[in-house]
Structure 1
Amino acid sequence: MRRNSGGTPKARALGAELREVRDTAGYSLRELGRELETNHVKLQRYESGEIVPSSELVAAYVASLGASAQTRERLVEMARDADQPDWLSTAKSGARKELTTLIEFERTATRITDVTTGVIPGLLQTSDYARAVMQRLSSDEVETMVLMRVGRREILTTKNAPQFVAFIAESAMNEPIGGHAIMAEQLRHVVKMSDWENVAIHVLRSGATTLHPAHLGSFVLFEFPKATPIVHMEHYHSSVSLHNPGTAAAYQDAVTSLHELAMSPEASAEFIANRASELEDSAS
């Protein structure tokens, strides 16, 4: 039995994991459809997160692909509540799986708005800066994670690339994570990416005298062509993805407010370049 998921965060993540298992096994959708005696179009809808397969179907799906018992148990568990609109993910899920989920959101979004108050947005990060940000991970994980994070940038150069809007708090540029030279290089990279046609970068200056949405924390708003937006927020040891229409509308309103408060893309690029120069002077 299938359940209509409406593209919930967990349904999209589950679909991405099912697709990864199938790709690893070297099966096409048609081949797997024949194996499971079902239409390959249904399988495609499971993998896109459009609908949620039953736990029984997920078990059959991964078993026919030769996945490990551990993978089977984890994905069957995911399927049990993947039709719920909101999803809290804890550190036990693993940093790599967290990044896989974000990649799936980015792959299907038409517009991504990233509001950051502490670090440079992931899609804008250089490898050295990303490595510095991920220093709390084990050495075995870091390089794989850095490659995945930097590789995510390719989504902005595809044929149907999403529009990417970043609101970066000035305070995030005043923290030279990795050292002055690495931060300067990172900011130069941000300026370079701001020239891309589908990228708009806005600086939120410090010193505001009234409270605005970014004061309350970072978030990413993913907007899709035919589904309710997803709001994603990361915390120290967990993350949450929200799919409730009312919640999504509130964050869309927050983005509108930030557009009114932030510097223009042109002024932002100049401001970031000047900050990079200051860091370069400090590093020399």
Structure 2
Amino acid sequence: MVGNARKTPKARSLGAELREVREKAALSQRKLSSLATISNASLSRYETGERVPSPEDVASIVTAAGGDGDLRDRLIDMARDAAEPNWLAAGAGSRHKELTTLIEFERTATHILEVSPMLVPGLLQTESYARTIMAGLPADELDMRVTTRVGRRDVLLRPGAPYFDALIDEHVLQRPIGGHSVMAHQLRHILTMAEQPNITVQIVPSNVEEWHLALEGAFILFRFPKAAPIVNLEHFRSSAFLYDEGDIHDYIQSGDNLRRVAMGPADSLELIARYADKMEVPQ
């Protein structure tokens, strides 16, 4: 289905990839649209995810920008069901698409809520911490992924940065991933990032007795100025992006409930500092 996609997750990811193809070719929208024989307005809407291009238009755009056949075929395949409200990206081959999508959502969001029951949120990770949790990747991919992850946090520090709320389970602070020195540095880094006026960190105490959705796994809720919210669920070899209104409502409500049971920001930072102190004690 092509046409109006209402900025679904897959339509926006496809748009981000088309923009990346154009920028790598050092072409303006006007120049590429002329080469691909489509209107400049259509190309603009394709790149923002407002409309889903036909497979024929995707082929024309990628070919005109000098993209190879594998890239063309992959983006054509994305276009075929980009108007669907939810999207599951599975397998090792989905990593680039997932990363491109997350960067696009982080770039355009006005508010990001990340619920992290197992690990430090990606946008708050240090290089050493990120390298430890990605250690199973091939060496060349590991370096690229770590560099990209560390670079992504700059989105929180630029002018006009989105508001970022992190809800972190207390157990995350206790787990010395990478060793006590790496974890101590990671916790100190969270404290430093939390000094930014757009960043709020709250800890969900380990003694909370009621069930909450974070016990089901991590999720990220993105809010945008001119598009509906999107939820990202990341797993070991797959990533899901939810856009359906009913699904989104449940995650918004879950975030509100978690804020209610979590420690306040000031108390949360004091707790993080105490765990950092413990990690710095020679073992």
TM-score normalised by the chain length of structure 2: 0.97
Q: Quick check: 1:96–1:145 contact (8 Å CA) kept in 2? A: no
1:1-284 pair list within 5 angstroms: 2-283=2-283
Look up the SS of the partner of 2:202 in the other structure. Answer: strand
List gaps (5 residues or longer) in structure 2: none
Alignment RMSD (CA, Å) = 1.3
Q: Deviations over 1:139-175 (max 9, x none)?
A: 1101111111111111112222111000000111121
Query: CA offsets, 1:213-250, max 9 Å, x none?
Result: 21221100011112221110111111111000111111
- Separation in 1 of the partners of 2:228 and 2:259? 21
1:109: how far off?
Answer: 0.9
Instruction: Note the residue ranges of structure 1 that are not aligned, 5 or more in a row.
Output: none
- Report the alpha carbon displacement of residue 97 of structure 1 after superposing the two structures with TM: 3.1
Q: Supply the distance in 1 between the matched residues of 2:102 and 2:95 (Cα, whole angstroms).
A: 11
Contact residue 228 and residue 244 of structure 1 kept, 8 A: no
Deviation at 1:208, TM superposition (A): 1.5
Q: 1:133 to 1:110 in 2, by over 3 A?
A: same
Aligned residues: 283
Structure 1 residue 96 displacement after superposition: 3.4
2:57 aligned partner, one-letter code: L
Contact 2:8 2:84 in 1 (8 A): yes
Query: Share of identical aligned residues, percent?
Result: 46
Taking the aligned partners of 2:64 and 2:96, their CA distance within structure 1 comes to 24
In the alignment, is the contact (CA less than 8 A) between 2:38 and 2:57 conserved in 1?
A: no
The one-letter amino acid of 1:127's match is E
Cα shift at 1:62: 0.1
Counterpart secondary structure, 1:268: helix
**TM-score, normalised to structure 1's length?**
0.96
